[in-house]
Amino acid sequence: MLRPEVLHDHNELNDLAIDVSRIREDFPVLTTLVKGRPLVYLDNAATTQKPRSVIERICRYYESENANIHRGVHHLSMMATEAYESVREKVRAFINAREPREIVFVRGTTEAVNLVARTYGAVNVGPGDEVLITAMEHHSNIVPWQMLCEEKGARLRVIPITDRGELVLDAVPNLLSQRTKLVSITHISNALGTVNPVAEIIRLAHERGIPVLVDGAQAVAHMPVDVQELDCDFYAFSGHKIFGPTGIGVLYGRADLLEAIPPYQGGGDMIASVTFEKTTYNEIPYKFEAGTPNIAGAIGLGAALDYVQSVGLDKIARYENYLLKYATERLSSFDDIQIIGQAPEKAALISFNLHGIHPHDVGTILDQYGVAVRTGHHCAQPVMDRFGVPATVRASFAFYNTTHEIDVLVEALGKVREVFK
């Protein structure tokens, strides 16, 4: 059994081998005062804070390496190209892809899903076909498929969820048919925290020859991900949710699939040759990276992955699981708190409502106490509909959070109650 007082008093987790006090020193923003109180940042599912090593790496790039990539023979261009491409290899190793050419840099998860819908979907989905998603998707893994289905006369099908916020796995075989052209599912729900059995769904889809895209936006920063072990065909994530900068993300795609599908956007760098009669395309992954990419973003992402690996994803997962248990126990002790999403396999995220008080009011008052949470539908309106609520308050944790911060949240919720009494 883990000892809360160890976490509370020292934040030095011998049991979990993670030194939170030291880690917090790496994140300059965590010393910010909000309305005179220490910032308690519990909005990590929206975006994570950045360690100094990431901030400094981006500065160094602009101070001494800035140039366009893949184009110049001059010194700076070669340095920038080398720095950018070395991150591709870093990402490959991070998610255990087979080859660096399976790593496509994109703006984020949203762009990754749109890329697959517009390329794979364009050539593989036709009238009467189906795309299968789940009832707990973020809008960015719903709307691109809806747009595609509308255009093609195809149909979007949905794996339902239980009252606890788990996928109804038994429903999956019946939802897969010869008409299903792709399955696109989230690894971890941003609105419920559920960790989905994606490997099992991939197995069921592959038995029928159907490829699977996994939305890993909420997963990569919280658990080790191995795309070969999962056996997924596409995997998408955003840099800013894993302590890297905004505007950079990753689409992993199996090389044979990426080779078979058309480009996403046309422009510089994605071509092999251009004449007015015919253009031939560059090899993968460059075929999907038209125009000058977010070079500084990719380099910053590389520094973020180094940082996360220096802490260790296994340790991060265990520590965050401890935070989740602590927060769940504390919040569950109040009768007026309803936790939405009670799956046994959960990431460190709690969606909840305080009886009779609108989530936006809760969030606004929590902000007076320096506590940053997200309130609203979390870009997952169908999840809100499923649970019959307009919105929730969401506290989402990272490995720099502490049990003390959870206590501050609980105390501040007491103040919310006083205001609305």
Residues known to be catalytic: 379
Distance spanning both ends of the chain, measured CA to CA: 37
DSSP run (H or E) holding 381? helix 381-387
Q: What is the DSSP letter of 330?
A: H
C-beta of 272: minimal distance to ligand C6P in Å?
Answer: 30
CA–CA gap between residue 86 and residue 295 (Å, rounded): 12
C-beta of 154: minimal distance to ligand C6P in Å?
Answer: 22
When asked if residue 375 is in the footprint of ligand C6P (CB under 6 A), the reply is no
Cβ(6)–Cβ(14) below 8 Å: yes
Show Cβ contacts of residue 1 under 8 Å, excluding neighbours closer than 6 positions: none
Single out the residue of 65, 215, 233, 320 in contact with ligand C6P (rule: CB under 6 A). Answer: 215
Segment contacting ligand C6P (CB under 6 A): 87-95, 104-112, 115-123, 326-334? 104-112
When asked if residue 377 is in the footprint of ligand C6P (CB under 6 A), the reply is no
Q: Output the CA–CA distances (angstroms, integers) from residue 123 to 127, 235, 272, in the order listed.
A: 12, 19, 22
Which C-beta is closer to ligand C6P: that of 26 or that of 215? 215
Q: What is the DSSP letter of 262?
A: P
When asked if residue 353 is in the footprint of ligand C6P (CB under 6 A), the reply is no
C-beta of 216: minimal distance to ligand C6P in Å?
Answer: 8
Which C-beta is closer to ligand C6P: that of 7 or that of 236? 236
Q: Is 277 exposed, middle or buried (0-12, 13-18, 19+ CB in 10 A)?
A: exposed
Cβ(53)–Cβ(244) below 8 Å: no
Show Cβ contacts of residue 36 under 8 Å, excluding neighbours closer than 6 positions: none
Cβ(286)–Cβ(146) below 8 Å: no
C-beta of 333: minimal distance to ligand C6P in Å?
Answer: 26
**Residues binding ligand C6P: what is the number (CB under 6 A)?**
17
When asked if residue 110 is in the footprint of ligand C6P (CB under 6 A), the reply is yes
Segment contacting ligand C6P (CB under 6 A): 149-157, 298-306, 374-382, 407-415? 374-382
Cβ(137)–Cβ(146) below 8 Å: no
**What does 252-273 look like in DSSP terms, one character per residue?**
EE-HHHHHHSPPSS-STTSEEE
Cβ(245)–Cβ(268) below 8 Å: no
Single out the residue of 48, 81, 186, 351 in contact with ligand C6P (rule: CB under 6 A). Answer: 186
Segment contacting ligand C6P (CB under 6 A): 15-23, 158-166, 251-259, 372-380? 372-380
In this structure, the number of other CB atoms found within 10 A of the CB of residue 334 comes to 15
C-beta of 367: minimal distance to ligand C6P in Å?
Answer: 16
Which C-beta is closer to ligand C6P: that of 108 or that of 285? 108
When asked if residue 374 is in the footprint of ligand C6P (CB under 6 A), the reply is yes
C-beta of 188: minimal distance to ligand C6P in Å?
Answer: 7
For residue 78, what are its two tokens? 């070669």
When asked if residue 378 is in the footprint of ligand C6P (CB under 6 A), the reply is yes
C-beta of 215: minimal distance to ligand C6P in Å?
Answer: 5
When asked if residue 217 is in the footprint of ligand C6P (CB under 6 A), the reply is yes
Q: Is 233 exposed, middle or buried (0-12, 13-18, 19+ CB in 10 A)?
A: buried
Q: Is 282 exposed, middle or buried (0-12, 13-18, 19+ CB in 10 A)?
A: middle
When asked if residue 114 is in the footprint of ligand C6P (CB under 6 A), the reply is no
CA–CA gap between residue 227 and residue 187 (Å, rounded): 12
Which C-beta is closer to ligand C6P: that of 65 or that of 264? 264
Looking at beta carbons, which residue is closest to ligand C6P?
A: 190
Single out the residue of 7, 18, 45, 331 in contact with ligand C6P (rule: CB under 6 A). Answer: 45
Single out the residue of 109, 119, 180, 353 in contact with ligand C6P (rule: CB under 6 A). Answer: 109
Positions in the binding site for ligand C6P (CB under 6 A): 45-46, 108-110, 138, 140-141, 186, 190, 215, 217-218, 238, 374, 378-379
